[in-house]
Structure 1
Amino acid sequence: MTATNKSIIYFSLGLITGIFVISQLAFRENNKKEKDKKQPTTQNAPQIFLPQLPAEISFAGEKVPLDRWEVREAFDRELLYNYNSPGHISYLLKLSKRFFPAIEQRLKENGVPDDFKYLCVAEGNLQNLSSKVGATGFWQFMSYTGPGYNLEINDNVDERFDVMKSTDAACKYLKQAYAKFGNWTVAAASYNCGMGRVNDLSTFQQTKYYYDLQLPEETNKYIFRILTFKYLMGNSKEMGYMVDDENGYKPFEARSVTVSSSIPNLAQWALQNGTNYKMLKILNPWMRDRSLKVNPGKSYEVRLPRK
């Protein structure tokens, strides 16, 4: 092999090696750029806005001591979680246009502060829900406690699903708790864990001031959850929620019919009264069967669509 041929071969091998090295470096650089594109940066990451705590707030006329760091942080925690759930808060605001007027009237008639409508929100989200443990309705009564507050509960009728009657029942409980503890905040806390439990804990800790009490974890958060709904829903426009009377849900337009005898077939009865079974159940969720049994001397107010 001549010297010239050897030079050509060495040159070719060097050229091939160089091309390979350059291609590998370019491949790595492209991969790095692709990875960098996938990684969010502080410039393109979504902005998370933090709600500001109010300078002051009260519950049922009782001032919240926001100058205490543990109180401020407990309130801040609940506010953060709920403020950043705009769909949930918007839906509650829409529902409040339907249900708050009647609930507010019932609270006023029973002598219970208006702020307790937000306890109703914290309990049942303004819906007839049932929890895993059996608490039911807007005010989340248990089946064994409801009858003690004048709620009829059986397989045929469950008045925990009647918004007005369950509001009256909740008012009765809250007034008893207020009479026992002397302040509305502790009365509200007892709605979560019971008067007996709160009484035991307050007796041991020698205080009936809610913000000095160490209560079960859920109850520790409970008042701040109520306060959060009061703050967000009571200042909805300022907090960025554009729900008003026009796009909120309207109250049901209904008429009341007194029923004093049993109805064996509610679907047929609904048709005879100018509506249908579906609408009858929507307006009267306390009816729990396909029929309505009415005992002698008993009567029920049944709501039907207004003609």
Structure 2
Amino acid sequence: MKLIEKTGVIASIVLISGLLINGMPEKKETARAGVKKEFPFPDKIDFAGEFAPLHIADVRERLDRELLTNANLHATTQLIIKRANRVFPVMEPILKKYNVPDDFKYLAVIESGLVNAVSPAGARGIWQFMPETGKERGLEVNDIVDERYHLQKSTEAACKYLLDAKAKFGSWTLAAASYNGGFGGVNKQITFQGVNDYYDLLLTEETSRYVFRILALKEIMKNPALYNFELAQGELYSVIPTKSVDVTASIPDLAVYAKEQGINYKILKIHNPWLRDRKLNVAPGKTYVMEIPTKGY
């Protein structure tokens, strides 16, 4: 045992010596090759035309945190960039129709990653509406139909909320913050603290980071190559063409209906995620619109 131990020690010394003599330059070269370039910090940045005061130390540091975090969440951010190519073309004309700044599409990004997410609290869809808030903004929410999952209608509902928030708080930045912190929560802090600028308010951790996350994703998604996200156009998720089909009568079996439309149940649900059951009940005088893909399935 002792002889084996001594032999092992000698062998280790020889190996280490060899590495020191011959291996170090190669190791240094490898380390040099693996160094990532520094992520740029913007000279100025705005949300909906309202500039963040980057000369204030904590504001600068909070933005830096979110830029570094999201630039290093490589797979997550890359997927978001890919999805945006499909989702943003639906959102953008609706935002424009309601005169809501285009930057609010990045609010949807941080809410859900541009998928129909479900939060522990029960918020659902790309815009993450709670059931009652969705109903207040005109969405149908029940066990059969849940329009929080309807991209066009939920985007319209978000626009209605944001317009009311802008009217109440006077700035788009605070309107965005209230989407997370609520009308009451943000207004309470404005009243208590005696300031009405998001960047001057001390808010909860989540709401305090909220607008900075929006700013960070906006910056990265508008300048992906600067943050090491270089995707060819062919790598982005494309818009799948569909035809709209009016439904004015109840459908007892959506799987059968899907086959009648030349697709299957899975494809029907992917393109109409607001359908929450295996059937669709249609009240007299009511019309639903199904999106049926014409290719890509």
TM-score scaled to structure 1, two decimals? 0.87
Alignment of 1:43-192 (within 5 A): 44-45=30-31, 46-192=34-180
Alignment of 1:1-307 (within 5 A): 26=10, 29=13, 44-45=30-31, 46-306=34-294
Distance, in Å, in 2 between the alignment partners of 1:153 and 1:30 is 73
Equivalent AA in structure 1 for residue 54 of structure 2: L
- CA deviations on 1:179-236 (whole Å, 9 max, x unpaired) are 0000000000000010110000001111110100001011111111000110000111
Cα pair 2:146 2:276 within 8 Å, conserved: yes
Cα pair 1:50 1:80 within 8 Å, conserved: no
Equivalent AA in structure 2 for residue 238 of structure 1: L
Equivalent AA in structure 2 for residue 106 of structure 1: I
Cα pair 1:255 1:305 within 8 Å, conserved: yes
Equivalent AA in structure 1 for residue 166 of structure 2: Y
Distance, in Å, in 1 between the alignment partners of 2:87 and 2:231 is 15
- CA deviations on 1:21-73 (whole Å, 9 max, x unpaired) are 98586256358669999xxx876544244312100011000011111111010
Secondary structure in structure 1 of the residue aligned to 2:235: coil
**1:306 Cα deviation from its structure 2 partner:** 2.3
**1:243 Cα deviation from its structure 2 partner:** 2.3
CA RMSD of aligned residues (A): 2.5
Identity of matched residues, %: 46
Cα distance 1:187–1:34, how it changes in 2: closer, same or farther (>3 A)?
A: farther
Distance, in Å, in 2 between the alignment partners of 1:34 and 1:67 is 53
Which is greater in Rg?
A: 1
Distance, in Å, in 2 between the alignment partners of 1:262 and 1:128 is 25
Distance, in Å, in 1 between the alignment partners of 2:18 and 2:273 is 57
Cα pair 1:104 1:117 within 8 Å, conserved: yes
Bigger shift: 241-250 or 281-290?
Answer: 241-250
Larger helix fraction of residues: 2
TM-score scaled to structure 2, two decimals? 0.90
**1:114 Cα deviation from its structure 2 partner:** 0.3
Bigger shift: 192-201 or 26-35?
Answer: 26-35
Equivalent AA in structure 2 for residue 87 of structure 1: A
Consecutive unaligned residues in structure 2, runs of 5 or more: none
Distance, in Å, in 1 between the alignment partners of 2:230 and 2:5 is 60
Secondary structure in structure 2 of the residue aligned to 1:115: helix
Cα pair 1:124 1:137 within 8 Å, conserved: yes
Cα distance 1:167–1:22, how it changes in 2: closer, same or farther (>3 A)?
A: closer
**1:172 Cα deviation from its structure 2 partner:** 0.6
Cα distance 1:79–1:42, how it changes in 2: closer, same or farther (>3 A)?
A: farther
Cα pair 2:253 2:279 within 8 Å, conserved: yes
Bigger shift: 182-191 or 242-251?
Answer: 242-251
Equivalent AA in structure 1 for residue 106 of structure 2: Y
Distance, in Å, in 2 between the alignment partners of 1:20 and 1:289 is 71
